[in-house]
Amino acid sequence: DGGITQSPKYLFRKEGQNVTLSCEQNLNHDAMYWYRQDPGQGLRLIYYSQIVNDFQKGDIAEGYSVSREKKESFPLTVTSAQKNPTAFYLCASSLGRTGTQYFGPGTRLTVL
Amino acid sequence: DAKTTQPPSMDCAEGRAANLPCNHSTISGNEYVYWYRQIHSQGPQYIIHGLKNNETNEMASLIITEDRKSSTLILPHATLRDTAVYYCIVRVRVDDMRFGAGTRLTVKP
């Protein structure tokens, strides 16, 4: 089955801790994206990567970091510098810069 | 940047066609119109996209006006499983999709 997987589905962390969210795709897509969604709101872009070893900040990158060491993987780290990290995090990928984006199932992060 | 305007909510009877409108009056000539939907606590699902011509696939039809300032997503025979938030998006940059609040469609028995 081709697709995008995100793990875990639910994640809890204590305030002040860093946490890493996983995103893997086996669609052979070049571009990958991370979005954040707050209750009742649309999606906001955190980071995106068009190619391995390269990534760009989106609209709300502060307090987040990413890496793109492999084409299939684009992990997102939510650092302690992120003031309000509790949210639903969505990963997406596309074949190229203009391709249709396909989304993973999401990870719901709750800071206790 | 082109923006979209959608009604916050709509109802539709099961088995009837659901017509979801979207206004994008400032769309540029090379910008596509995309539609996604999101069922509660799941990732958005791609539905359809188009540039100028009307498009149809197994899920829906997309009707774009000749001036491209508005579009309508049509679900021909809505089912209860079509209850979701529907997003109309105009691609601003090639590398991101700007999601607004969307339209919450409720399909009723």
Residue A71, chain B, CB below 8 Å: the answer is no
* Amino acid of residue B93: R
Length of chain B in terms of residues written: 109
Name residue B75's beta-bridge partners: B18
Q: What is the per-residue pLDDT for B92? A: 62
Q: What is the per-residue pLDDT for B95? A: 62
Measured between CB atoms, which of A31, A44, A103 is closest to B44? A103
* Integer angstrom CA distances of residue B44 from A106, B39, B87: 9, 7, 9
Q: What is the per-residue pLDDT for B91? A: 82
Looking at the complex, report in whole angstroms how far the Cα of residue A78 sits from the nearest Cα belonging to chain B: 19
Name residue B38's beta-bridge partners: B85
Residue with tokens 């300032």: B69
Q: What is the per-residue pLDDT for A42? A: 86
The DSSP 8-state label assigned to residue A70 in this structure reads B
What is the C-alpha to C-alpha distance for residues A33 and A21, in angstroms, rounded to an integer? 13
Interchain contact, A100 vs B49, CB within 8 Å: yes
With a cut of 70, which residues of chain B have pLDDT below it? 1-2, 92-96
| Residue of chain A with shortest Cα separation from B42 | A105
Q: What is the per-residue pLDDT for B28? A: 86
Residue A50, chain B, CB below 8 Å: the answer is yes
Q: What is the per-residue pLDDT for A64? A: 97
What is the C-alpha to C-alpha distance for residues A57 and A18, in angstroms, rounded to an integer? 19
Would you give per-residue pLDDT tens digits along chain A (112 residues)?
A: 569 999 999 999 998 899 999 999 999 999 999 999 998 888 899 999 999 999 999 989 999 999 999 999 999 999 988 889 999 999 999 987 778 899 999 999 999 8
Q: What is the per-residue pLDDT for B40? A: 86
Q: What is the per-residue pLDDT for B97? A: 75
Q: What is the per-residue pLDDT for A51? A: 92
Name residue B21's beta-bridge partners: B72
Q: Name the burial class of residue A102, with classes exposed (0-12), middle (13-18) and buried (19+) by CB atoms within 10 angstroms of its CB.
A: buried
B59: left (phi over 0), alpha (psi -120 to 50) or beta: alpha
